[in-house]
């Protein structure tokens, strides 16, 4: 890649994005390795850069991890009708991003819906497959009116 077509650096990532990335990496261990919550929390603390986050962002990441695991059955039930295949057939990364996005959408009303969607898309661009971000966007965008009807600008279909 030449300097001409290299993507310019956007600067350091926001702390909340780094917290979401850490939560995703720890949740991935639960999704593919059947790790229990304690093992996932240990893994979370071992994610590169986690210990440089402020306590607020560390607690945010821990909350995303714990909540996504604790509510995974409910979240899967909400997501399944919006999928083009069974949840179990999703890539583990996309499944984890959807769980985190759905959890945050349902449980963090202080975070605007658009921010939840954009952050999930960014996670998928960073960690997912080539078009994973499009899939994640499509699913969570359709979930938004269900979980955040007052914030959704889309008319009912």
> Does any domain span residue 2?
no
- Report pTM: 0.88
| Of 118, 125, 81, the residue nearest 101 (C-alpha) | 118
**CA angle at residue 71 from 105 to 63, to 5 degrees?**
65
What is the distance between the alpha carbons of residues 127 and 112, in angstroms, rounded to a whole number?
23
**Which single residue is written with the structure tokens 């769980």?**
99
Query: How many domains does one find in the chain?
Result: 1
pLDDT value at residue 155: 52
> Does any domain span residue 105?
yes
Q: What is the CATH number of the domain that holds 20?
A: 1.10.940.10
Per the CB < 8 A criterion, the answer to whether 146 and 78 are in contact is yes
**CA angle at residue 139 from 135 to 65, to 5 degrees?**
95
pLDDT value at residue 6: 32
> Does any domain span residue 94?
yes
pLDDT (tens digit per residue) in 25-69: 999 999 998 788 999 999 999 999 999 999 999 999 999 999 999
> Does any domain span residue 69?
yes
pLDDT (tens digit per residue) in 68-83: 999 999 999 999 999 9
Query: Is residue 118's pLDDT more than 90?
Result: yes
> Does any domain span residue 67?
yes
- Domain of 44, in residue numbers: 15-147
- Confidence tier at 152 by pLDDT (50, 70, 90): confident
């Amino acid at each position: 890649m030449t300097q001409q077509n290299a993507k310019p650096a956007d600067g350091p990532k926001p702390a909340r994005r780094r917290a979401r990335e850490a939560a995703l990496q720890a949740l991935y261990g639960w999704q593919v390795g059947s790790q229990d919550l304690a093992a996932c929390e240990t893994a979370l603390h071992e994610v590169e850069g986690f210990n440089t986050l402020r306590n607020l962002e560390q607690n945010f990441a821990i909350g995303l991890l714990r909540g996504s695991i604790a509510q995974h059955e409910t979240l899967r039930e909400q997501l399944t009708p919006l999928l083009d295949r069974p949840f179990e057939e999703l890539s583990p990364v996309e499944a984890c991003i959807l769980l985190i996005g759905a959890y945050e959408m349902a449980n963090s009303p202080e975070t605007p819906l658009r921010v939840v969607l954009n952050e999930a898309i960014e996670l998928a661009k960073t960690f997912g497959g080539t078009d994973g971000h499009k899939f994640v966007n499509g699913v969570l965008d359709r979930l938004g009116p269900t979980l955040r009807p007052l914030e959704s600008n889309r008319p009912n279909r």
